[in-house]
Structure 1
Amino acid sequence: MKNQNISHFHDIHVHAATVQEWSQDYNQLTAGLAESSLIQLTTPRCHVFREQINQRVVQHGVAPRGKMCFAVPITVPGTIRMQGREVDDSSLFFLQGGEEFMFHMPLGMELLAITFERDLFEQALAQTASAKEISQLLRQPVIKVSTQRYAEARHRMLAAFSQALLSEELDNSQDREMALEQTMLGELLQLMTDPACDKQQRTPSSTRSYIVEKCHRLATAQLNNVPSVDELCQRLQVSRRTVQNSFRSVTETTPVNYLRSVRLNGVRRTLMSTPASRLSIGDAAAQWGFYHLSHFAAEYQALFAELPSQTARAAIGGCALA
C-alpha cells in the first residue's frame, strides 16, 4: 500500500490530528485516561482507517474536500448521533467533501471509515443501475440499510482491510491497492442498491440534537464571555428543562458538564499547540473562560487524569499535536 500506519494513543487530540486529510477536533466528555487505536491505509484514490476510543467523544470538523466519505460502525455500545440523527447498527454514515459535521461517539465505539476520491466513486456509481436513486440517497448523512446484509458486508470489508494490512510486507503492487478500493466501493454500492434499502428515506435531525449542537457552537464562539445555561435557554427560546433533557438524551450528561468539558478540551489543544515560554497555563485557561486557576486545574485533572502542568507543550516552532 502507499501508506500504512498503526498507532495507539493516550490523548484524543493527538489521535484526531493523526487522521490523515481530516480537519477536526475531538472533545473528550468522560473522565479518565484516554486510550485509543488508529489503523490507516492509503492508496492513490482511497483512505481507509479503523479507530476505537475508550472515552465518550464528540467529533467536530470538516470532511476532506473533493472526497466522498463513508463510515461503517463496527460496535455500537451506546447512544450515537451523527449530524443530529440517531444511529444504530444498521446505519451507514455519509459526508460530502467539505461538509461540516458533528458526531457524538459513545465509550468504546469502533468504526471503519472509507474516503474515496470523488471521481473514483462517481465513475463506479455511474455504472450501477440505480445511480440516480443512490445520488438522491446520498443527500442523507445517515442511511439505513438491511441489518443482515450490512453485517455480512461489514465482515467482508473488515476482512479486506485486514488482508491489505497483512499483505503490506509481501506485496506493494497496484493490483493490491485496486483490489482494496474495488472491494470497499463494491460493498457500499451493493448495500445502497439492495432492494431492502429504502431509497426514499428522509431522516430529519432531532430537535434535541439541534439544541445540543447550537449550545456547543454558542459556548465556543465567545470564549471570553461564555454564556450560562440560562442565557443559552434565552437565546434558543426554550426552557431549562428542555435543554437539560436534550443534553441527557444526546450526550448522557448535563449541559454544564458537557460545555465545561468542551472548553477544557479547548484549553488542552491550546496548551499542546503553544510553547510554555509563549503562553502560560493561566492565560490559556483564561482564553477559554476559566479564571480561577485552582478550580480550573482540579477540573482539568478530573477530566484528563493529569494536571495542566503535566500536559505536553509544543517546542519552539513545533506543535505537540503534530
Structure 2
Amino acid sequence: MKNLNISHFHDIHVHAATVQEWSQDYNQLTAGSAESSLIQLTTPRCHVFREQINQRVVQHGVAPRGKMCFAVPITVPGTIRMQGREVDDSSLFFLHGGEEFMFHMPMGMELLAITFERELFEQALAQTASAKEIGQLLRQPVIRLPTQRYAGARRRMLAAFSQALLSEELDNAQDREMALEQTMLAELLQLMTDPACDKHQRAPSSTRSYIVEKCHRLATAQSNNVPSVDELCQRLQVSRRTVQNSFRSVTETTPVNYLRSVRLNGVRRTLMSTPATHLSIGDAAAQWGFFHLSHFAAEYQALFAELPSQTTRAAIGGCALA
C-alpha cells in the first residue's frame, strides 16, 4: 500500500524534516511567516513529492543513498541555482544517492521530485538504446531539455501523480503503484533520449556560486566563531566587491544579510531540537555567534515573524522537528 502524506507547514524546518529519506536543512532567507505545502507518495521502489514554499530558501544536505534523484521545476518565479548552476523551467535536476547538494530556491517556487531505487532506474536505463549517452548526461546535476517536450512531460507527470493521489484508497493499489513508477521512469528517459536533447552538454558551476557556497560552509563550520565578510574575503583571496556582487547575483541579498539569516536559522533549529530546560535561548544564540540578546531577538523576530521565546521547543526526550 502506498504511503501518502499531505502536509501544510508554518515552519520550513519542520517541512524539511518531514521530507522522507532526505537529510537536509532548509534556511529561510526572506522575512515573514513561512507557509509551505508538501505532498508525498511512496511506493516500494519510488518516492515522489511535490513541494511549494512562499519564502526564499537555501537547501543544503545529502541525497538519499542508493537512489537516483530527479526534480522537475513546476513554477519558477525567480532566480534558481542548483549546485552552482543557474537554471530555469527547461532544466531537469539530478543527484546521485549520497551526493551533497546546495539549492537556492526563490519565493513561491514549486517543484516535483522523483527518487527511484537505483536498481529500478538502472534496469530501465539498460533497456534504452541510449544507455551510455544518458549515463554521460547524468554526470551533471542540471540537464537542459527541449522546452516544449519538457512542458508536455511535466503535465503528464503531474497528472500521473494527481491520479495516484486520488486512487490511494482503491483496491488495485499495487498495479497503480507500478503504473506511477513506470510513467515517471518513461517520461524522464524519453526526455533524455529525445534527439533534441544535447547529450554532450556541460554546465560548469559559476564562480559567483562557488564564492557563495564556500562562504556558506565557512560561516557554518564553526557556528560560534563566525568569520566576518572581510575575513571571508581573505580566506577566498577575492575582493569585497567580488563577494558583494556574487551574493547579489546568487542570493539577491548582501553577504551580511545572507550569513546572518543562515545563522538565525541555525539558532531556530537548535531551539526546536532541545528542551527549554536543557538549553536557554541565550546559550542557543551564543552557539551561533549571537552574543547581544536584545539585538538577536529583534533580528530573529524580523526574519521569522516571532520572538525566539515563541518558537516551539522540543519536549523532554523528543524533538519539535521530529
Query: TM tier, shorter chain?
Result: over 0.9
For residues 224 and 93 of structure 1, what CA distance do their matches in structure 2 show? 34
| Cα deviation, residue 222, structure 1 | 1.5
SS in 2 for 1:8: strand
Contact 2:26 2:57 in 1 (8 A): yes
- The CA deviation string for residues 226-251 of structure 1, in whole angstroms up to 9 with x for no partner, is 10000000000000000000000000
- The CA deviation string for residues 188-232 of structure 1, in whole angstroms up to 9 with x for no partner, is 000000001000001000000000000000000112211000000
Match of 2:216 in 1: 216
Match of 2:23 in 1: 23
For residues 152 and 264 of structure 1, what CA distance do their matches in structure 2 show? 41
| Cα deviation, residue 28, structure 1 | 0.1
SS in 2 for 1:214: helix
For residues 99 and 31 of structure 1, what CA distance do their matches in structure 2 show? 30
Q: Does 1:317 align with 2:317?
A: yes
For residues 216 and 167 of structure 1, what CA distance do their matches in structure 2 show? 43
Q: Percent identity?
A: 94
- The CA deviation string for residues 87-134 of structure 1, in whole angstroms up to 9 with x for no partner, is 011000000000000000000000000000000000000000000000
Match of 2:251 in 1: 251
For residues 16 and 316 of structure 1, what CA distance do their matches in structure 2 show? 22
SS in 2 for 1:256: helix
- The CA deviation string for residues 134-175 of structure 1, in whole angstroms up to 9 with x for no partner, is 000000100000000000000000000000000012235211
For residues 173 and 111 of structure 1, what CA distance do their matches in structure 2 show? 25
| Cα deviation, residue 178, structure 1 | 0.2
For residues 7 and 267 of structure 1, what CA distance do their matches in structure 2 show? 24
Match of 2:151 in 1: 151
Which range moved further: 223-232 or 103-112?
223-232
SS in 2 for 1:47: strand
Contact 2:2 2:173 in 1 (8 A): no
- The CA deviation string for residues 57-90 of structure 1, in whole angstroms up to 9 with x for no partner, is 0000000000000000000100000000000110
Match of 1:280 in 2: 280
Which range moved further: 25-34 or 163-172?
163-172
For residues 161 and 77 of structure 2, what CA distance do their matches in structure 1 show? 22
Change (3 A) 1:142 1:77: same
SS in 2 for 1:115: strand
Q: Does 1:164 align with 2:164?
A: yes
SS in 2 for 1:264: helix
For residues 33 and 166 of structure 1, what CA distance do their matches in structure 2 show? 30
SS in 2 for 1:224: coil
Contact 2:125 2:189 in 1 (8 A): yes
Residue pairs, 1:132-143, within 5 angstroms: 132-143=132-143
For residues 201 and 86 of structure 1, what CA distance do their matches in structure 2 show? 14
SS in 2 for 1:223: coil
User: How many aligned positions are there?
Assistant: 322
SS in 1 for 2:224: helix
Q: Which runs of 5+ in 2 are unaligned?
A: none
For residues 241 and 13 of structure 2, what CA distance do their matches in structure 1 show? 32
Which range moved further: 223-232 or 253-262?
223-232
- The CA deviation string for residues 9-51 of structure 1, in whole angstroms up to 9 with x for no partner, is 0000000000000000000000000000000000000000000
For residues 287 and 173 of structure 1, what CA distance do their matches in structure 2 show? 48
Contact 2:2 2:168 in 1 (8 A): no
For residues 296 and 48 of structure 1, what CA distance do their matches in structure 2 show? 38
SS in 1 for 2:201: coil
For residues 10 and 35 of structure 1, what CA distance do their matches in structure 2 show? 5
Which range moved further: 217-226 or 168-177?
168-177
Q: Taking structure 1 as the reference length, what is the TM-score of the superposition?
A: 0.99
Contact 2:28 2:57 in 1 (8 A): yes
For residues 314 and 257 of structure 1, what CA distance do their matches in structure 2 show? 28
How much is the aligned-residue C-alpha RMSD, in angstroms?
Answer: 0.5
For residues 309 and 274 of structure 1, what CA distance do their matches in structure 2 show? 13
SS in 1 for 2:276: coil
For residues 65 and 115 of structure 2, what CA distance do their matches in structure 1 show? 10
Q: Taking structure 2 as the reference length, what is the TM-score of the superposition?
A: 0.99
For residues 225 and 250 of structure 1, what CA distance do their matches in structure 2 show? 25
SS in 2 for 1:168: coil
